[in-house]
Amino acid sequence: MAITTEMIKQLREATGVGILDCRNALEETGGDMKKALDILREKGLAMAAKRADRAASEGVVEVYSHGNGRAGVIVEVNSETDFVARSEAFRSFAHEIALQIAATSPRFIREEDIPADVLEHEEQIAMAKAREEGKPENIIPKIVEGNIKKFKDEAVLLRQPYIRDESITVQQLLNQTIASLGENIVIRRFTRYALGESLEEI
C-alpha cells in the first residue's frame, strides 16, 4: 500500500511524533494506521522513560480561570530548556493540563503522591460499605481492590482519561509531548480553587 502525505500528516497530528518516524511506522505496518499508532505510542513511552531522569527546571506557570471566574487553576509545568518552555506546543500542553485540572478536580499528580493514610481510609470505607451491603467475606478484598483502583483513576491526574480524547490518559498525553518535544517534561504542582469551597474541602 502506498504511503500518502495525508496519512503521514494524520499520524503526526495524532501522536506529535516527527514525519520520518511516522513514515517508517506506516511502512512497517503496510499503511495500517491503528498498528502504526500503537508502534509510535510504544516508542513515545520508551523515549519518555529514557528522559525521565533529566533535570527539568525551566517551564511555565499556567493560570486558567473557568466558568466566568467560578473555578481557577494554577499549574507549574517544567521543561529542560527555556527554548522548549517558550514553544507553542509546550504552552499548549500546559494549558491542556490546566483545563484537565479545572474539569476533573484531581487531588494528586502521581499515584506515589497519595499518602498511605488516605489509601487506608479509602480501603476502610470500601470494606465497611461491602459488609453493609452483605457481600461475602471472601470477595470483599476484590471489591476493595476495585474501589481503590477507581479512586486512583479519579484522584490521580496522570491516571485520568484525557478530557479531549478519553482513549488516552494524561500520562500518555505527557509521554506523547515528551516524545514530540524531545525533552523531559514534569507537571510539578497545581492548585485548584472553586468558588464557595470551604478550606476543609480544598
Render pLDDT for 78-113 as a digit per residue (tens, 0 to 9).
998 889 999 999 999 999 999 999 999 999 999 999
* pLDDT greater at residue 22 or residue 107: 107
Q: What is the pLDDT of residue 20?
A: 81
Q: Residue 44: which pLDDT band, with cuts at 50, 70 and 90? A: low
* pLDDT greater at residue 109 or residue 43: 109
Q: What is the pLDDT of residue 200?
A: 45
Give φ, ψ of 193 to 5 degrees. Answer: -120, 140
Domains and CATH numbers, the chain: 5-51 (1.10.8.10), 58-106+160-194 (3.30.479.20), 115-154 (1.10.286)
Spatial contact of 60 and 91, defined as CB atoms under 8 Å apart: yes
Render pLDDT for 54-71 as a digit per residue (tens, 0 to 9).
666 788 999 999 878 888
Q: What percentage of the chain has pLDDT greater than the value 70?
A: 86
CB neighbour list of residue 98: distance below 8 Å, 6 or more residues apart? 62, 63, 64, 73, 74, 75, 190
